[in-house]
Chains A and B, each alone.
Chain A
Amino acid sequence: MLSSQPPPTAPATKPGSSKKSRNKKKKAAAAAARNKSSDISSPPVPAPVPASFDFANKSAEAEKMRSFFANIKRDSVLVSANADYVHTKPSFGFLTNHQLHAVLPVLESRPALLSDRIFSQGPRPVDHPFSVQITLDTLKEKMLASPQTMEPEDALMSEAEAAAEKITKFTNCDVLRNGKIVKDETLWVRGGKIVDPASLFYETERGPDEIVDFKGRKTLIVPGFIDIQLNGYFGYDFADTDKIEESLDVVSRGLLKYGVTSFCPTLVSSPAEVYHDVLPKIALRKGKRSGHAEVLGAHIEGPFLAPPKKGAHDKYTLKSCPNGYQDMLDCYGPSLEAADSAVQIITVASEVEGMHTCIYELKQRNKNIVVSLGHTQARFKDAEAALNCGATMITHLFNAMEPFHHRDPGPVGLIGCSLTSSGVDKPYYGIIADGVHADPASVRIAYVAHPDGCILVTDAIAAAGMEGDVFSLGTMTVRRISEVEVVIDGTNTLAGSVVTMPYCIKNLVRFTGCTLAQAINAATIAPATSIGISDRKGTLMPNTDADFVILDEFDEMDPSAFSIADVYVNGEKVQF
């Protein structure tokens, strides 16, 4: 309430006129607040209280207001949050002049700061001689009425955008992030990606739209499993090139219930025409699709393999590459060199003629393609040389290769070689942990020698997930002789497997004594890093794909026990 100081036009303290003058003061303050510049440029001139405020003429009013404030000897202004302070008992806050000069220019540009908040203390003396009231809600009303105060976020978003922007928070769970279990953690998902909640909190100032709370249940969220070697599943064989689209579709949907959210379709040794035909088709299908596991690039196993170690491959398709890289290009076709190539991993036998130069040149031309050693008779020195040429992985360690000999460890010895002798990192190695392809003791030895390099693969064939005994694998016929054992019909040669990834994970824990987290790492972060996609998969770090599996039903007695409760691909829950 303005006191009866010098300006004769100042209204007396009559209820009626005081209210009017109060309103005028409010408008003036609003006008002042609207003005952008914060400093008082005009010299202090004893200005009378303006009789009326011309709202339209904002800058002039603001100028008057500013100079008026500048003249207030005591630097204090009362700010009332109450519209009507005569009939109700208001609370007042107290702003120093310094603060007011800070407040006014900012309030004008940030109307969201205004509120009807009432200060909590008792009322300050209302009749302070030099005090002026600004009613916040009137200010707010005026400011929000003008269109330019609309915040950009208030603009309407299309429904699709809104859905994509939906933020889901998973809380009260443990999260396996970047290879380590973080207890009592939260996971935030938006638009198919994991988001950093702190950035979300501070930048967009949005909380979660949906909260999934696992309170009371011991739950672990892990990245989706990545299978980099499987030849088929559910009766579909990827080598059956006529039905490749259908195979990929069925398999990528069916694998989700095993927690596998991305995989490399594997092709056994085939004639060149097959590769020319199928690789472009895989290139088309590569990538994400709603409700399906993501199809990563193909794992081409062959045909540059050692005939004595062909396993279940057709020996008539095997070849060598005396002309080096050119032979490889002729065999696989131009897809090999395409920008977003359908080829992710190539398994070769390093002792095949011309293979070393071939590997070297392949790696020079396409750093993303991973060269893996397998189906090989190479000795340790040869395998080491291949490693130096650019090979970085071993296909199903122990299988289809020379066994470990203490004086010549063969390819198996690569996981024991030291940096000083070879100059490159130890290779990753695939392990088919079904207990059949490698004895548990062998798996344990390999794991202990190089735990970070262990990649769990299923090497599953079409027979997996199916009932029955006789199936085809490429051009061969295979027969299931026990629950997990499949051999070439009429022989004892193992032909792929029929295991699931969760089974392999549990086995790794049982065989090696590692923790469940470490075993899951062998199915997530290790394969992701080996094929160079750890920036978007396998870690659950911010900005990676929101492919994850929710595990529960753990058992204190049995560290390998778990059950898959839910699977999310690209942030969407999968129904299965």
Chain B
Amino acid sequence: MRLIIKDNYDDVCRYTSEYILNRINEFNPSPERPFVIGLPTGSSPLGVYKKLVHFHREGMLSFKNVITFNMDEYVHLPRDHPESYHSFMWENLFKHVDIPPQNVNILDGNAKDLERECTEYEAKIAAVGGIELFLGGIGPDGHIAFNEPGSSLSSRTRIKTLAYETIIANSRFFGGDVNKVPKLSLTVGVGTVMDAREVVILISGAGKALALAKCIEEGVNHMWTVSAIQLHPRGMIVCDDDATLELHVKTVKYFKSIEKVHRLLTTEESKVGMDGKVRYSATSK
């Protein structure tokens, strides 16, 4: 697992968006071989989306051959409700870029058969060849997507009841009224996220510090579901200084030193790509 520690939220977003930009462009997606990416919602990825839109406007990034899968969606919230995750993704990303509508996949919380919707979602992911990169955030209780503490670490896409703490946290988007917040959601499972070939988690702010510490310094635990990233072959966490407040000093120094070396390696002519892959060029011996 890589832990990238940046100074502040803006740097976290800049690093992550540049990482995604380079990953997509190095992958060089085509219609036969699209880049499949998993996307989160919430306040953490907003900066990343803004920068990705900026890259698109500058002509550096095209979404024509990118397929997206979102993590979650509320159940029985109208799709055009301003707080639905469909609206969120539209306003913050899809509106501004050239992604074809058929490449976008978001769980439908108003489907007639919710369980079938979940299994179909898994099927769609499998049908396109699995997710190449899953971007995610983390909750203060260490949850990924809506996999609240206690969720099975091998879970798949399913209906989930929201924890009361999450409902309270989300009520700020519903006029402060907890009764208006949806109580059910469809979410990808921890297993679904970890099935992706790469997982990138954004963690910023002091409120997430304890969660980060529990997830990377302690064991794999269903109480802190992001800790499943410890078992993923290519996990990466991008966090800011505030989020490291609960980590051991040793941990922070260690990861910072690794990244320093990595930064020295990743130059234009270097043999190591942004994702840590070693590149073989024609001229190398």
> What residues make up the interface of A, taking CB atoms closer than 8 Å to B?
38, 79, 81, 93-95, 98-100, 102-103, 106-107, 110, 112-121, 186, 196-202, 204-207
**Which residue of the partner chain, among B33, B95, B127, contacts A113 with CB atoms under 8 Å?**
B127
Q: Are A202 and B123 in contact (CB under 8 A)?
A: no
- A287 to B270: give the CA distance in the assembly, Å: 68
List of B residues within 8 angstroms of A114 by Cβ:
127
**Which residue of the partner chain, among B80, B95, B123, contacts A103 with CB atoms under 8 Å?**
B123
- In the complex, what's the smallest C-beta–C-beta distance from B202 to chain A, in angstroms? 23
- In the complex, what's the smallest C-beta–C-beta distance from B238 to chain A, in angstroms? 22
Knowing A98-B156, A102-B123, A117-B32, the reply to whether A198 touches B129 (Cβ < 8 A) is: no
> What residues make up the interface of B, taking CB atoms closer than 8 Å to A?
27, 32-34, 79-80, 86-87, 90-91, 94-95, 100-102, 104, 106, 119-120, 122-124, 126-130, 132, 156, 197
List of A residues within 8 angstroms of B129 by Cβ:
81, 93, 117-120
- In the complex, what's the smallest C-beta–C-beta distance from B34 to chain A, in angstroms? 7
**Which residue of the partner chain, among A79, A95, A106, contacts B120 with CB atoms under 8 Å?**
A106
Knowing A116-B32, A197-B95, A198-B90, the reply to whether A103 touches B102 (Cβ < 8 A) is: no
> Which residue, B32, B101, B128, B197, has most C-beta atoms of chain A within 10 A?
B101
Q: CB-nearest residue of chain A relative to B32?
A: A116
- In the complex, what's the smallest C-beta–C-beta distance from A194 to chain B, in angstroms? 14
- A431 to B130: give the CA distance in the assembly, Å: 64
List of B residues within 8 angstroms of A186 by Cβ:
95
List of A residues within 8 angstroms of B197 by Cβ:
120-121
> Which residue, B86, B91, B127, B197, has most C-beta atoms of chain A within 10 A?
B127
A-B contact pairs, 26 of them (CB 8 A): A93-B130, A94-B130, A95-B126, A99-B123, A102-B120, A103-B123, A106-B120, A106-B123, A106-B127, A107-B123, A112-B102, A115-B32, A115-B128, A118-B32, A120-B132, A121-B197, A198-B79, A198-B80, A198-B87, A198-B90, A198-B91, A201-B101, A201-B104, A202-B90, A202-B104, A206-B101
- In the complex, what's the smallest C-beta–C-beta distance from B38 to chain A, in angstroms? 14
**Which residue of the partner chain, among A79, A81, A102, A207, contacts B101 with CB atoms under 8 Å?**
A207
List of A residues within 8 angstroms of B87 by Cβ:
198
List of A residues within 8 angstroms of B32 by Cβ:
115-118
Q: Are A207 and B100 in contact (CB under 8 A)?
A: yes
Q: Are A118 and B119 in contact (CB under 8 A)?
A: no
List of A residues within 8 angstroms of B123 by Cβ:
99, 102-103, 106-107, 113
- In the complex, what's the smallest C-beta–C-beta distance from A175 to chain B, in angstroms? 12
Known: A106-B127, A116-B32. 15 other contacts (CB 8 A): A38-B119, A94-B130, A99-B122, A99-B123, A106-B119, A117-B128, A118-B33, A120-B33, A120-B129, A120-B132, A198-B79, A198-B95, A200-B101, A205-B102, A207-B101
- A102 to B130: give the CA distance in the assembly, Å: 14
Q: Are B126 and A93 in contact (CB under 8 A)?
A: yes
- In the complex, what's the smallest C-beta–C-beta distance from A358 to chain B, in angstroms? 44
Knowing A198-B86, A207-B101, the reply to whether A117 touches B126 (Cβ < 8 A) is: no
